[in-house]
């Protein structure tokens, strides 16, 4: 039985096209990724890269948001939230890291290709890459993190952090400077970066799109991480990088809130999909593992069943939240500032709830599976590492809560 | 400047050798392990980096000899009144550097406990086995071959199963045991084991405690086969694999304590297993404290070091709190094992159960706490360079092994509430 | 600002009628209950009973589900889920106990007055009470609990528990027997009880509606409880109680699942409303309380703000879940058995999540308010007691999880 | 049959009077309190039921005298080496019956600690005050008047505030202190207090530690007004109310320890306050264990006693686990207060901080655990007749008082991570 059918995902039925896409992705997940997992594990060449190519290029996912006139699929309306939630559930079930790559790529595109913020110049500039190149195109984001020293320029902070880079306007060009930039994902493979910059002479955040091949963009050696093998990361240095003004996709808080809302929706869907996979692994284990002392199956013992039930309850709750968030975002509220703020707060709350509960649930599933949960062979440990790693890329929950406090209590200077 | 030594230990319970050997092992950790450990994950098969560190610790420093009587080249911990507190400190210091090494190190003593500890010291076997550990400067590993296919940690579910599910058999032929069976996952298997303590039965399916047998089998004996190590989420320094025993023959006196006593004293091994688990958690948490303190003093938010942010400090406080508590519990339990005259026999149901109580508490808290600390570090929490994610991955198996949380809960309920059917 | 506006409650706008009802109830909550709280505390005569009368009778809430031909409001379609969620949020904000009384009364009526299970006879029998009596009419449920001894007849268990009562068919009448029945609510005040009975010669659960004045129905002395002052409870004894067959409102699991789904939706809404109230109290505190050592307001200190943020996040998450559940139930799935099972599982998961998170959130709010959180004067402690008490009336979470395990893992004999 | 005495206590730390007085108080609890306690909530104003039980405990059994020197009619605990472990056991036993009574009982010692404990025993004040407690068979209550309007527990935030926020003033006129101020919430106020220990300042706003003053004020002195008790969520046995001091005059030697020392030794009161809090939690949890064990042996699911259901047993196990751990921590901390020679001064930052660490852990676990136990009991969990919900309501204030969790976290972080600006 398809485990997705166990949980009502929303009141009204999904669109026909979404159902078809979901089925395609499900087939891809099972034949191209999950079936090959035991043999290839997390091998880049043999498993991850081919799978990414199919997803991004063959299934046209990377051009989802591009208007048709640029060769895209043209789903660049907020209603695409339903499509994103349903499809990334499937991708996340196959491989959390691949889902993460797509979620970020999608979020970056949403900052210039949506009907409410359509940036014709940039679409024209990037269409060849996304719609006609025939090769997978990965987008990455560079957002503010902790400072490793107190920067001189850090008088202007953004949500308590200093900007990863600074941009200077020169005619219709911008010159971008920054060092030790830590991209959210795929620093080594990304084709373009959306970098949050401080524009000289402005105190507004601006997202600048920088193609990876730009002169002056330097990459450090790859980093090793706990999980998300599909996202090979590194640090960036921006040395007098030059882009045209059209590459500034937004200025100010509203664009920021819209960007985060899409990013959070995508990461939520990937996490729910990964949790589905963990649930399936646990279910199979529970149906076969005998508790000898009790001569009963794991699933039939009240204590182990109660832990298994908690895993499924977390999954159910998380999925309801995911699709409720999708419905809210599809409601076009994002377009007006007041609503955008409110929705981005809901998105932050939802993605935090989902990633935290997934961490808890997979931890519990591993407990029940004992050493099998720890052995690579059973795959559960990979979802455990991947989901946790993705959660960390949301930023610290303690500090994200400062945004919630600002919204719900008008807290200041947090 | 505050250090990990500011975390409380019950002064009265600390062993006489604590200070001296604690310092030695900490120095070993700081010099030999901590600088290299982040490269251990790729070394999980060859142990090119790991083996030399083990040789220094166990062979050269000689920690693999501690249990044996002095006249056999050991340190006599086995018959001391501070085996618990002394070994706790040693395992804690090793775990601070690498939980996997601590597990491999600590588990080496499990089979030896059966023959080195009073009141069940087995002089003849000690004489036979001591040289393997005491007359070399190479690290020598022993393993408890316990878990079996489709068994999980059932075998450790002693009170209920009484060994009835054990598939590995020992048949007495003349003055030799003939052993047949298949074991999974023993720590220190996967090729590196020199000596197995094999949990087996002299009559398959029997619940007669006299049929439960613990028999020593040198790994180089004909019929013993060790499979390749499994690939795991972490704990590269600890190899686990399949072990097959086919018509393996050992002298009849290789049985540790004999009918009835094998079962009885094997529960003491479980007590020490839980003590070790708590030490591994405590040591890892002490190092997490060191790392996060450094991180929060060198990373900034709103132009202040992270540790000066009240919200983040709340997480830091909880980490210190749990570390403090787990360490106190560890020493309390160590004391309970050191002084059976005050607290009861090490193999008694009460002491075994209470060990499980502290162990599952320690593991639950540590996994949750380190998860929060990683979250506080944001993306750096998953960055190999900070070594936190390593502790997180390594400790998880300490939580899973020896039956995991649910078995601990059932034994706890059974003892405190006198349940009959759990 | 109306705190309800801080959280998107669902994608599509509520119906006009629901908006009006919500506004009425909000006014009632603030003027008739919250404004009088300091003076009357939990006084039955001076506060609780008058408030109940207004809510049940003056605002016609007690006849919401009755078809118009019987003098009811006629909202007896699944779409009423939206109305229930929105209105009980308001009631729960005013008084958890009153909300609980209505949630149970509503659930009982839903078992015979919905368009998919309309029981004409019973509606005719009860209309005078609910629609024409002019006095508040409270319904109560008697569901299986723990056994205090191993009953002889307990071979037939229902979800592991023995039936509170047994019914024997005599012609077109039923004779009901049972002792030590513990109603869910209002044992002392209820006008009718829905008792889950084992029908002689059947192994299906049956809900039998028993008017409180039936001969042979005896009440024990009132019990004292931690909270829910509005629900004065006691034990019941059914000694040869006689009802007509029409009072058997359902036989079998599906009716049971429909009943629970409505009960859980109502209790979820009441809890969310109570949590809103707790959030408002905390917000006011956070805006006035100075942390002297820091010379900052509680809301502006990072640590206290992070705890406050968790309270608001729990509220946000819970409200999204509540309205997602309402949307799912409004989708008419309840009518068919397979769907009903799936929806009742979702409802159980949601109400458990909401009540557990509310317990956690209010605990945290009290922590921040120190002794003020503990003093009756500030009201928070009442919501703390009430919400916890209502959670307990859901039954043990450990055992409720057995139903989840059965659904998600096909676990047996739990 | 398993009892609460099967929960571990570090044998080495138990006081010599533990066994004898422990039994006496337990008998008192079983006879005088437990049968009536479920009616205490309605008795919150009059104390018709509560007062006689107090008289028996504190007056007749004489527990209100324990701190005073023997020659003044006391038991000399104040200068003993087991004040911590002895008082822990006593408070634990009282709390098992009623946390509110335990609080009223325990807090009575707070002001007395300032003058009865070595090295700051104040002989003259002891001679003056001892008779109030030692020459009566009625319960006599003392209170620490600390918290002020808009202050919360700021005053206990000693390290940061150094008393600078104290609004209550003491002015020296000749050989008398003239005290003015308004205090909120002191335990044992609301009309029942006989002796106040007033936290005040000799110069408003000063951070000079010499200005921090702790002065004794008999409640019957002119100018002292106690307001009516507040209505609370629970803890009926502990009355709290407003207290006003208007031009109250007391002899100058009523100041406990003098400039500087008042501040220094007041931190010792906080240490004992945290020790008491842990004892209250421990005692309540022991009783929760007794109640739930009984409940689960007499209630059935699937025709088995609840305790035989594995899922419910998991909750029972967690309760036993947390009770076991909290009790061990309590005795460890008691020992730390008993042996400053081994662990450091009772008023040192380290000892004060570690008390907060164990206290906020104990309270967090207890509130969460009792919440789960209530849930396991279903509707009965909210039924007054089972007394569980009473412990739940009563313990909550122990979690809230003395600054609550956040202050504990900040002090923990400050000490373990050397934060400067928290």
Q: Are A303 and B406 an interchain contact pair (Cβ–Cβ within 8 Å)? A: yes
Other beta carbons within 10 angstroms of residue C5's beta carbon come to 9
| Tokens read off for A190 | 């990304």
pLDDT value, residue C149 = 81
DSSP A216-273: TEEE-PPPPBSS-TT-----EEEEEEEEEGGGEEEESHHHHHHHHHHHHHHHHHHHHH
Q: For A308, which residue in chain D has the nearest alpha carbon?
A: D311
Q: What is the pLDDT of residues B33-44, one digit of tens each?
A: 999 999 999 999
pLDDT value, residue C211 = 97
DSSP C83-105: HHHHHHHHHHHH-HHHHHHHHHH
Q: Find chains touching chain B: ≥3 CB pairs under 8 Å.
A: A, C, D
CB B187 within 8 A of CB B108: no
pLDDT value, residue B196 = 97
Q: Give the residue among B269, B233, B236 at the shortest CA–CA distance from B145.
A: B269
For the four alpha carbons of D178, D183, D186 and D191, in that order, the dihedral sign comes to positive
Q: Is the pLDDT of residue A1 over 70?
A: no
Q: Is the pLDDT of residue A2 over 90?
A: no
pLDDT value, residue C153 = 54
Distance to chain A for D304, nearest Cα, Å = 13
Q: Are C293 and D400 an interchain contact pair (Cβ–Cβ within 8 Å)? A: no
Three-state DSSP class for residue A213: coil
Q: Are A405 and C324 an interchain contact pair (Cβ–Cβ within 8 Å)? A: no
Average pLDDT of the segment spanning B272-286: 98
Q: Which residues of D touch C370 (CB under 8 A)?
A: 152-153, 400-401, 404
Q: Which residues of A touch B301 (CB under 8 A)?
A: 146-147, 160-161, 399
| Tokens read off for A252 | 């100010």
CA distance C258 to C272: 21
What ipTM was reported for this prediction? 0.97
CA distance A34 to A373: 17
Average pLDDT of the segment spanning A331-350: 94
Q: Which residues of D touch C307 (CB under 8 A)?
A: 406
CA distance B269 to B352: 9
Q: For B419, which residue in chain D has the nearest alpha carbon?
A: D308
Average pLDDT of the segment spanning D133-157: 83
Q: Which of A145, A164, A311, A371 to mutate to test the interface with B (most CBs of B within 10 A)?
A: A371
Name the packing angle between helices A337-374 and A380-392 (round to 10°).
Answer: 150
Q: Is the pLDDT of residue B367 over 70?
A: yes
Q: Find chains touching chain A: ≥3 CB pairs under 8 Å.
A: B, C, D
Q: Which helix (H) or strand (E) holds C312?
A: helix C302-330
Residue with tokens 């975002």: A329
Q: What is the pLDDT of residues A213-258, one digit of tens each?
A: 999 999 999 999 999 999 999 999 999 999 999 999 999 999 999 9
Q: Which of A306, A364, A368 to mutate to test the interface with D (most CBs of D within 10 A)?
A: A306
| Tokens read off for A379 | 């795959």
D150 touches chain C (CB under 8 A): yes
pLDDT value, residue A291 = 79
B304 touches chain C (CB under 8 A): no
What is the count of residue pairs from B and C with beta carbons less than 8 Å apart? 13
Residues ≥6 apart with Cβ < 8 Å to C295 = none
CA distance B87 to A282: 37
CA distance D94 to D54: 10
CA distance B301 to B310: 11
Q: What is the pLDDT of residues D283-341, one digit of tens each?
A: 999 999 999 999 999 999 999 999 999 999 999 999 999 999 999 999 999 999 999 99
Q: Is the pLDDT of residue D159 over 80?
A: no
Q: Give the residue among A43, A244, A21, A13 at the shortest CA–CA distance from A124.
A: A244
Rg of chain D, C-alpha, whole Å: 21
Distance to chain C for B356, nearest Cα, Å = 22
pLDDT value, residue B178 = 98
A293 touches chain D (CB under 8 A): no
Average pLDDT of the segment spanning C100-106: 98
A147-151, C242-246, C385-389, D81-85, range with the lowest pLDDT: A147-151
pLDDT value, residue B154 = 56
Share of residues in chain B with pLDDT > 70 (%): 98
Higher pLDDT, D174 or C414: D174
pLDDT value, residue D152 = 54
Q: Which residues of C touch A330 (CB under 8 A)?
A: 11
Distance to chain D for B419, nearest Cα, Å = 6
Q: Is the pLDDT of residue C217 over 90?
A: yes
Scanning C50-109 for CB atoms below 8 A from D yields: none
Count helices and strands in chain C by DSSP H and E runs: 12, 12
CB C367 within 8 A of CB C148: no
Q: What is the pLDDT of residues B161-184, one digit of tens each?
A: 788 889 999 999 999 999 999 999
A41-45, A293-297, A361-365, D259-263, range with the lowest pLDDT: A293-297
CA distance D46 to C265: 43
Share of residues in chain A with pLDDT > 90 (%): 87
Q: Which helix (H) or strand (E) holds A197?
A: strand A192-199
Q: Are D397 and C147 an interchain contact pair (Cβ–Cβ within 8 Å)? A: no
Average pLDDT of the segment spanning C393-397: 97
For Cα atoms B377, B380, B383, give the angle at the middle one, nearest 5 degrees.
140
CA distance C33 to C44: 12
- Residue A42: φ, ψ to 5°: -110, 30
Q: Which residues of B touch D12 (CB under 8 A)?
A: 12, 335, 342
pLDDT value, residue B199 = 95
Q: Are D384 and C373 an interchain contact pair (Cβ–Cβ within 8 Å)? A: no
Distance to chain A for D310, nearest Cα, Å = 5
Q: Are C325 and A320 an interchain contact pair (Cβ–Cβ within 8 Å)? A: yes
Q: Give the residue among C6, D245, D276, C400 at the shortest CA–CA distance from A342.
A: C6
Residue with tokens 């009756």: C376
pLDDT value, residue A152 = 59
CA distance B24 to A6: 57
pTM of the predicted structure, to 2 decimals? 0.97
pLDDT value, residue A51 = 98
Q: What is the pLDDT of residues A245-293, one digit of tens each?
A: 999 999 999 999 999 999 999 999 999 999 999 999 999 999 988 876 6
| Tokens read off for B117 | 């500890």
Q: Is the pLDDT of residue B210 over 70?
A: yes
Q: For A351, which residue in chain C has the nearest alpha carbon?
A: C317
CA distance B29 to B54: 11
Three-state DSSP class for residue C167: strand
CA distance A76 to A111: 11
pLDDT band per the 50, 70, 90 thresholds, residue D116? very high
A371 touches chain B (CB under 8 A): yes
pLDDT value, residue D151 = 60
What is the count of residue pairs from B and D with beta carbons less than 8 Å apart? 145
pLDDT value, residue D421 = 86
Q: Which of C352, C402, C408, C414 to mutate to test the interface with A (most CBs of A within 10 A)?
A: C408
> What are the contacts of A24-29 at 24+ separation with CB within 8 A?
A24/A59, A25/A55, A25/A59, A25/A87, A25/A90, A25/A91, A26/A2, A26/A90, A28/A54, A28/A55, A28/A59, A28/A90, A28/A94, A29/A90, A29/A91, A29/A93, A29/A94
CA distance C120 to C112: 8
Q: Which residues of A touch C331 (CB under 8 A)?
A: 11-12
For the four alpha carbons of C43, C45, C49 and C51, in that order, the dihedral sign comes to negative
Residue with tokens 């040198």: B218
Q: Are B6 and D350 an interchain contact pair (Cβ–Cβ within 8 Å)? A: yes
CA distance D404 to D401: 5
pLDDT value, residue A202 = 85
CA distance A318 to A275: 9
Q: Which residues of D touch B332 (CB under 8 A)?
A: 8, 10, 328, 332
| Tokens read off for D312 | 């419910």
Q: What is the pLDDT of residues C344-383, one digit of tens each?
A: 999 999 999 999 999 999 999 999 998 899 999 999 999 9
Q: Which of A383, A396, A399 to mutate to test the interface with B (most CBs of B within 10 A)?
A: A396
Q: Which of A309, A354, A369, A396 to mutate to test the interface with C (most CBs of C within 10 A)?
A: A309
Q: Are B308 and D10 an interchain contact pair (Cβ–Cβ within 8 Å)? A: no
Q: For B412, which residue in chain D has the nearest alpha carbon?
A: D317
Q: Which of D321, D339, D368 to mutate to test the interface with B (most CBs of B within 10 A)?
A: D321
Distance linking the first and last C-alpha atoms of chain C: 48
For residue C210, list its beta bridge partners.
Answer: C193
Report the 3 state secondary structure along chain B.
Answer: CCCHHHCCCCHHHCCCCHHHHHHHHHHHHHHHHCCCHHHHHHHCCCCCCHHHHHHHHHHHCCHHHCCCCHHHCCCCHHHCCCHHHHHHHHHHHHHHHCHHHHHHHHHCHHHHHHHHCCCCCCHHHHHHHHHHHHCCCCCCEEEEECCECCCECHHHCHHHHCCCCCCCEEEEECCEEEEEEEECCCECCCCCEEEEEEEEECCCCCCCHHHEEEEEEECCCCCEEECCCCCECCCCCCCECCEEEEEEEEEHHHECCCCCHHHHHHHHHHHHHHHHHHHHHHHHHHHHHHHHHHHHHHCEECCEEHHHCHHHHHHHHHHHHHHHHHHHHHHHHHHHHHCHHHHCCCCCHHHHHHHHHHHHHHHHHHHHHHHHHHHHCHHHHHEHHHCHHHHHHHHHHHHHCCCHHHHHHHHHHHHHHCCCCC
Strands C290-291 and D169-173, by their bridges, are unpaired
Q: Is the pLDDT of residue D155 over 90?
A: no
Q: Are C6 and A398 an interchain contact pair (Cβ–Cβ within 8 Å)? A: no
| Tokens read off for B302 | 């709103």
Distance to chain D for B325, nearest Cα, Å = 7
pLDDT band per the 50, 70, 90 thresholds, residue A154? low
pLDDT value, residue D107 = 95
């Amino acid at each position: 039985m398809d485990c997705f059918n166990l949980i009502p995902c929303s009141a009204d039925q999904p669109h026909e096209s979404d159902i078809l896409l979901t089925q395609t992705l499900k087939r891809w997940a099972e034949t191209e990724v999950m079936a090959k997992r035991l043999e290839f594990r997390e091998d880049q060449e043999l498993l991850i890269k081919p799978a990414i190519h199919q997803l991004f290029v063959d299934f046209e996912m990377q051009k989802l948001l591009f208007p048709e006139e640029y060769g895209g699929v043209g789903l660049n309306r907020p209603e695409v939230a339903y499509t994103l939630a349903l499809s990334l559930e499937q991708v996340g079930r196959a491989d959390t890291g691949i889902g993460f790559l797509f979620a970020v790529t999608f979020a970056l595109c949403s900052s210039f290709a949506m009907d409410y913020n359509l940036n014709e110049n940039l679409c024209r500039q990037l269409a060849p890459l996304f719609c006609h190149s025939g090769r997978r195109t990965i987008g990455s984001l560079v957002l503010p993190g902790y400072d490793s020293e107190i920067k001189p320029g850090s008088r202007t902070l953004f949500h308590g952090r200093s900007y990863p880079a600074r941009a200077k306007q020169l005619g219709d060009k911008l010159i971008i400077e920054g060092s030790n930039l830590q991209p959210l994902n795929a620093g080594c493979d990304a084709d373009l970066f959306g970098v949050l910059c401080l524009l000289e002479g402005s105190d507004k955040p601006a997202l600048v799109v920088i193609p990876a091949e730009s002169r002056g963009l330097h990459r450090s050696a790859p980093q090793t991480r706990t999980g998300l093998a599909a996202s090979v990361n590194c640090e960036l240095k921006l040395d007098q990088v030059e882009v045209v003004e059209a590459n500034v996709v937004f200025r100010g808080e509203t664009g920021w809130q819209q960007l985060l809302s899409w990013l959070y929706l995508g990461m939520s869907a990937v996490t729910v999909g990964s949790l589905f996979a963990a649930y399936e692994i646990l279910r199979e284990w529970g149906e076969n593992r005998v508790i000898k002392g009790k001569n009963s199956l794991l699933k039939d013992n009240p204590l182990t069943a109660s832990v298994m039930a908690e895993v499924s309850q977390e999954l159910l709750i998380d999925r309801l939240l995911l699709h409720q968030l999708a419905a809210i975002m599809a409601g076009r509220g994002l377009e007006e500032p007041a609503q955008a703020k409110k929705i981005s707060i809901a998105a932050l709350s939802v993605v935090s709830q989902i990633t935290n509960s997934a961490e808890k649930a997979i931890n519990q599933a591993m407990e029940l599976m004992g050493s099998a949960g720890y052995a690579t062979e059973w795959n559960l440990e990979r979802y455990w590492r991947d989901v946790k790693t993705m959660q960390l890329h949301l930023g610290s929950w303690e500090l994200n809560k400062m945004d919630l406090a600002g919204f719900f209590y008008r807290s200041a200077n947090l | 400047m505050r250090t990990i030594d500011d975390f409380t230990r019950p002064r009265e319970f600390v062993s006489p050798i604590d200070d001296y050997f604690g310092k030695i092992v900490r120095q070993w950790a700081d010099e030999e392990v901590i600088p290299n450990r982040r490269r251990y994950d790729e070394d999980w098969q060859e142990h090119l980096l790991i083996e030399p560190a083990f040789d220094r610790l166990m062979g050269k420093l000689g920690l693999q000899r501690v249990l044996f009587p002095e006249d056999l080249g050991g340190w006599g911990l086995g018959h001391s009144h501070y085996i618990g507190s002394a070994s706790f400190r040693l395992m804690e210091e090793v775990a601070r550097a690498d939980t996997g090494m601590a597990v491999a190190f600590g588990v080496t003593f499990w089979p030896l406990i059966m023959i080195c500890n009073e009141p069940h010291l087995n002089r003849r076997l000690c004489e036979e086995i001591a040289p393997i550990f005491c007359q070399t400067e190479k690290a020598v590993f022993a393993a408890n071959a316990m878990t079996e296919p489709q068994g999980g940690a059932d075998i450790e579910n002693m009170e209920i199963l009484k060994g009835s599910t054990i598939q590995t058999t020992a048949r007495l032929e003349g003055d030799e045991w003939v052993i047949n069976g298949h074991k999974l996952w023993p720590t220190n298997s996967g090729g590196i084991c020199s000596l197995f303590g094999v949990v087996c039965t002299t009559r398959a399916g029997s619940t007669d405690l006299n049929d439960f047998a613990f028999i020593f089998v040198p790994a180089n004996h004909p019929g013993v086969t060790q499979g390749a190590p499994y690939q795991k989420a972490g704990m590269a320094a600890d190899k686990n694999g399949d072990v097959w025993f086919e018509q393996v023959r050992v002298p009849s006196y290789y049985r540790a304590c004999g009918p009835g006593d094998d079962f009885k004293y094997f529960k003491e091994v479980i007590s020490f297993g839980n003590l070790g688990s708590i030490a591994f958690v405590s040591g890892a948490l002490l190092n997490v404290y060191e790392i996060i303190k450094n991180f929060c003093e060198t990373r900034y938010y709103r132009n202040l070091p992270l540790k000066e942010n009240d919200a983040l400090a709340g997480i830091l406080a909880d980490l210190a709190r749990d570390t403090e508590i787990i360490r106190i519990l560890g020493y309390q339990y160590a004391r309970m094992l050191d002084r059976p005259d005050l607290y009861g026999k090490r193999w008694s149901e009460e002491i075994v159960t209470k060990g499980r109580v502290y162990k599952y508490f320690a593991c639950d808290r540590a996994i949750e706490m380190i998860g929060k600390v990683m979250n506080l570090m944001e993306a750096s929490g998953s960055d190999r360079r900070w070594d936190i994610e390593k502790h997180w991955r390594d400790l998880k198996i300490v939580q899973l092994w020896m039956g995991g949380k649910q078995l601990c809960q059932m034994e706890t309920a059974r003892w405190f509430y006198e349940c009959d059917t759990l």
